[in-house]
A and B are shown apart, each in its own frame.
Chain A
Amino acid sequence: MNTTKKTREPLFHLIKRTNVPMWQAWLVRGVTVLAAFLLIGLMSFISLKINPFKVYSYMIKGAFGDSYRIMRLLRDLAILLLFALAVTPAFKMKFWNIGAEGQVLMGAYACMFCIFNLGGKINDTLLIFISLAAALVAGSIWAVIPALFKAKWNTNETLFTLMMNYVAIQIILYTIKIWVPGGTGVLTPTVYGNLPKIAGDNFWLSIIAALVMTAIMFVYLRFSKHGYEITVVGESENTARYIGINVKKVIIRTLLLSGLICGITGFLLVAGINHTVSSTTAGGRGFTAILVSWLAKFNPIFMIFTSFLVVFLAKGTDEVMTMSGITNSFFSQVVTGVMFLMIIGCEFFINYRVVFSRHIKKATVVAAVPVTEESAAAETLEAPVNDTQADASEKEDNV
């Protein structure tokens, strides 16, 4: 190494913020969402020549234009919320379950399987209970399999749950092909095993289910012993083990819970809303739910707002496209992307402070930033060497 060469230090460093008041953080988030909407308006104007105010009014109209739209918005919000509730306990435990899509699909599939085979042959009320039970079992099996593997052999749960999604999709496609051999992968809606409609439509049942589940999940995570164990395992597995928590048991139990909620969601999607199943029944919401849950900091109450934001954007951009004659889905994708990029960016700045190097002392730099061995050594060349470890590494480097 050329010891005479003057090494440059990085341009800036990141320092973790520790005591940001809650109100301040939420103010920043609120302003970010507003700024994102401004940016969306600006971009629509520049690239598509649509009046930004029209964009906003279309978005609001798309979401709240009439009572039918409002009810659909609420129902879709409820369903997305259920997905998010399903992934939350696992994520809180730092178990990266990205398999909600497949777990819900399996729940939906099991429900449809019962309806398809038993519909018309047994009492319809009984059928509803059988298909609910089947959905719960199927959803939880799909969630527990990766959990078992994780607990037993420490397999990578991200890859495992992801692959389980594809298995679920293929099972559904294959079964539909058998049920409808000369078709296009579409199964005609069934008249059997349908959940009763409340107020003449399929909206309220999902909304009520989501509200109940949200309350239960909030209490479970916040006030129960299980919830506490999940938090501890998430923070540090070693600590959990040290204080006598059976980590394997917690992992499997938590995933079982995830799977059960997914089963309920799948059941609602089939018996309550679609009355059929397809590979798009979950519609990617198993993945969107991760974002919903994460942005809400795994708090079920906050998730209502983050779900709302996602569904509002979807409905809003659909309306903008329809009313402006845009027939390419890039618009809604870009808008959603901009919004969440901005929000994730704002989370970063709430959590970290960017400090430009010339404002801080060298010693702080070394202490605050994880550095590679080489740059640590380089750093010490300039800084007064008062650390034996740095000294040693310098020597090592010079050998």
Chain B
Amino acid sequence: MKRIVTIILALALVLTVVAGVAACKGKIKDAEEVQIPALEGMEVADYSNLSVPADFKIGMICLHDESSTYDLNFINAAKAAVKALGMSESQLVIKTGIDEDVACYEAAKDLINNSRCKVIFADSFGHEQYIAQAAAEFPNVQFCHATGVTAGSSTLTNFHNAFASIYEGRFLAGIAAGMKLYEMNKDKAEADQNYKIGYVGAFTYAEVISGYTSYFLGVKYALNQAQAGLGDKLSMKVKFTGSWYDVAAEKSAAEALISQGCVLISQHADSMGAPSACEAAGVPNVSYNGSTITACPKTFIVSSRIDWTPYVKYIIAQTVKGQAIDDNFTGTLKDGSVALTGVNGDVMAEGTIDAIVTARAKLVAGTLNVFDTNTFTVNGQKITSKLVNGEEVVINGAFKESKVMSAPYFDYDEIDGIKCLNRYYNPGEEIAA
């Protein structure tokens, strides 16, 4: 008797699950991805005349593996570049999971010893000194390092830095967020309106600071466009995790921000922690490095990313031709290095695409500046001057990012409206809001 009851119960359970799954399948439809029209007047380099020798190899050193959105973005770009130049897959040698210590130098040396790579590209900020060390030892190999800061001042001729004007991409993504924020609030009574947003950052240093500030200014710009003066109501809390890739810390940081009343979250950290926390809480999310629309169909708005494909093509071409690689390469909207993913049609506010296209045209034309010093203050003061490596970067009323070197140097971590909850990495340390 008991056995029969057990069997019946088990069957019932299985059927419920099956029915549930079937029902879900019927309900969930894929989010609708809307592509942003390509920029008019793009200047993509032409390599059709380039013939890469069959024994030419490019080596790549990645901090994590492809489960990190950041590294995946590099890996995809390198594969795309190699394919576009008509090279075979085996001409690209990728080493993943290379720590920011002596392992990086050894990986570089191994790529030269065993794969005979002519050019090596490392993707993490902390790899820099080890790449420089290898560069000093192998003068006939080109060493390229993304996000680094020392190539300009280095005497090595085969060591180069690269970045992109991603602050423009962040700004445009911020516009999508700002329009969403406006839409969420416009029908509410004044007292119920909430313009608090949140940001999960990895480390308190220029790249992250520049990123969230440009994003914030994008949101503010969109709010001001929708209704003059509305941008002043905007505030943003930033929480740092102290790691590039920490699923749990990023998730709990996003959850903490949401519980503190932030209604829209973005992040600069490389795991799916923050986006998935947003999806679970139903809070709209602006992503980075790549689209998270598949995992987060209900909350993903848009993602900005650096498309490294133009740069990888460039370094291969320069090395093959025996020409010098720029010590500070800064990719732009124009050359396709700064890109936005498709926008989630189900989540975005009406008119988002048009607003992005319009602002993008202005950015490219130079009539709109991300760090326009009239649009923000630090401790109530307008920024009038800033020296980077002895060079003035506040020019004609705008803070010129990525001008002195490719990597960002905008490091005012709290412009007015932004509040860092924990400047140090420690998630537990909370500065009273």
Structural contact, B126 and A329, CB atoms closer than 8 A: no
Smallest Cβ-Cβ distance to B67: which chain A residue = A328
Chain B interface size, under 10 / 10 to 19 / 20 to 34 / 35 or more: 35 or more
A184 & B126 in contact (Cβ 8 Å cutoff)? yes
What would be 14 A-B contacts, judged by CB atoms less than 8 Å apart?
A: A68-B113, A174-B426, A177-B425, A182-B411, A184-B100, A184-B203, A185-B425, A274-B101, A274-B102, A275-B102, A278-B99, A318-B95, A327-B72, A328-B66
Q: Is B202 close to A, CB under 8 A?
A: yes
- Indicate if A173 sits at the interface (CB-CB under 8 A): yes
User: How many angstroms from the CA of A66 to the CA of B129 in the assembled complex?
Assistant: 25
B283 at the interface (CB under 8 A from A): no
Q: Are B66 and A327 in contact (CB under 8 A)?
A: yes
By a CB distance below 8 angstroms, the chain A residues around B106 are 72
A288, CB-defined interface residue at 8 Å? no
Q: How far is the CB of B46 from chain A (nearest CB, A)?
A: 27
Q: Which residues of A contact B205 (CB under 8 A)?
A: 182-184
A325 at interface (Cβ–Cβ under 8 A)? yes
Question: Once the chains bind, are B206 and A182 in contact (CB under 8 Å)?
Answer: yes
Closest 3 A/B residue pairs (Cβ): A186-B126, A329-B65, A327-B66
Q: Which residues of B contact A188 (CB under 8 A)?
A: 129
Residues in chain B near residue A174, CB distance under 8 A:
424-426
Any B CB within 8 A of the CB of A345: no
In the complex, whether B122 has a CB less than 8 A from a CB of chain A is no
- How far apart are the CA atoms of A273 and B103 in the complex, in Å? 10
Flag B269-281 by CB within 8 Å of A: 1 or 0 each.
Answer: 0000000000000
Is A148 in the interface zone, CB < 8 Å from B? no
Count chain A residues whose beta carbon lies closer than 8 angstroms to a beta carbon of B: 35
Contact B93 A322 (CB under 8 A): yes
Query: Which single member of B96, B113, B202 contacts A66 (CB below 8 Å)?
Result: B113
* Nearest-neighbor residue (CB-CB) of A68 within chain B: B113
Q: Count the A-B residue pairs with Cβ separation under 8 angstroms: how many?
A: 84
Task: Type the 1/0 row for B183-216, where 1 means its CB is closer than 8 Å to any CB of A.
Answer: 0000000000000000000111110000000000
Judge whether B419 is part of the interface by a CB distance below 8 angstroms.
no
Measured CA separation A323–B115 after assembly (Å):
9
In Å, the complex CA distance between A174 and B351 comes to 45
The complex places the Cα of A181 from the Cα of B99 at a distance, in Å, of 20
The reply to whether B411 and A327 form a contact with Cβ atoms under 8 Å apart is no
| Separation of A183 and B124 alpha carbons in the complex (Å) | 12
A interface residues with partner B (beta carbon < 8 Å): 61, 65-66, 68-69, 72, 170, 173-174, 177, 181-186, 188-189, 202, 273-276, 278, 280-281, 283, 318, 321-323, 325, 327-329
Given known contacts A69-B110, A189-B129, A329 and B425 CB-to-CB distance under 8 angstroms: no
B259 lies within 8 A of chain A by Cβ: no
Nearest Cβ on chain A to B274's Cβ, whole angstroms: 18
B56: CB under 8 A from chain A? no
Provide the residues of chain A in CB contact with B66, threshold 8 Å. Answer: 327-328
The answer to whether A325 and B94 have CB atoms under 8 Å apart is: yes
- Please, how many angstroms separate the alpha-carbon atoms of A65 and B111 in the complex? 12
B71: chain A residues at CB < 8 Å are 327
How far in angstroms is the closest Cβ of chain B from A71? 10
Task: Give the residue name and chain of the B residue nearest to A275 (CB).
Answer: B102
Q: Are B125 and A184 in contact (CB under 8 A)?
A: yes
Q: Return B296 CB to nearest CB of chain A, in Å.
A: 21
Residues in A neighbouring B202, C-beta threshold 8 A: 184
Q: Which of B53-111 contact A (CB under 8 A)?
A: 62, 65-67, 71-72, 75, 89-90, 92-97, 99-102, 106, 109-110
> A283 to B99, Cβ gap below 8 A?
yes
Q: Which chain A residues lie closer than 8 Å to B114 at the CB level?
A: 61, 65-66, 69
Q: Report which residue of B66, B101, B242, B411 has the largest number of chain A beta carbons within 10 angstroms of its beta carbon.
A: B101
B376 on the A face (CB < 8 A)? no
Task: Looking at the assembled complex, report how far the CB atom of A174 sits from the nearest CB atom of chain B, in whole angstroms.
Answer: 7
**Closest Cβ neighbor of B102 among chain A residues:** A274
